[in-house]
Amino acid sequence: MNIDRFNTLEQKEALELLIRCGQSALWSKNLVALRPFGSFDELRANAAVEWQALPDAEQHKALALHPLIGDVEILKEKFSDGRENRLAKSEQGQVLSSSEAVIEELAQQNKAYYERHGFIFIVYAKGKSADEMLQILNMRINNPTAAEFANAAAEHQRITQSRLQDIFDES
């Protein structure tokens, strides 16, 4: 995908593409409305601005659509086929090769994190082992909820920017 092609996509197709990246229908709608973009960098910059402009409730909805780190069953289902599955696998597929003990601890800590903060643990997982993600989760779990929401939103932006890059790197 290149920026010229993106600029000429039908609105529905452009929305679907962006929703896969950012998980927010409102964010996607706002970004599509800004077309045409002169460059991919302009799209990326606007993607960040539009995310920051979203109400907290919309950001919470987008965060809730991410799979739990280490949820092996969801990951296996996502990896069964298709483009979205390739994106998810590239983000946290290394969890599939982790020990049962690490996966179990991730599941327990994810539950504890959710109970403490009211939203799931989000981390930019690409290139991180399950052990590294577990360490990050353990470091963040006792943060104040407001700080964790800011962390989750920042990690979501990293994920979104990476997904955009992956899509626009395809030819």
* 3-class SS letters over 13-80: HHHHHHHHHHCCHHHHHHHHHCCCCCCHHHHHHHHHHHHHHCCHHHHHHHHHCCCCCCCHHHHHHHCC
DSSP 84: H
Residue 34 has a pLDDT of 98
| pLDDT tier, 137 (very low <50, low <70, confident <90, very high otherwise) | very high
Domains present along the chain, CATH in parentheses: 64-155 (1.10.3330.10)
pLDDT (0 to 100) of residue 97 = 60
What secondary structure letter does DSSP report for 122?
A: -
* Close Cβ partners of 73 (under 8 Å, ≥ 6 residues apart): none
Q: Please report the pLDDT score of residue 68 as a whole number.
A: 78
How much is the pTM? Answer: 0.83
pLDDT score recorded for residue 83? 47
**48 or 82: which carries more pLDDT confidence?**
48
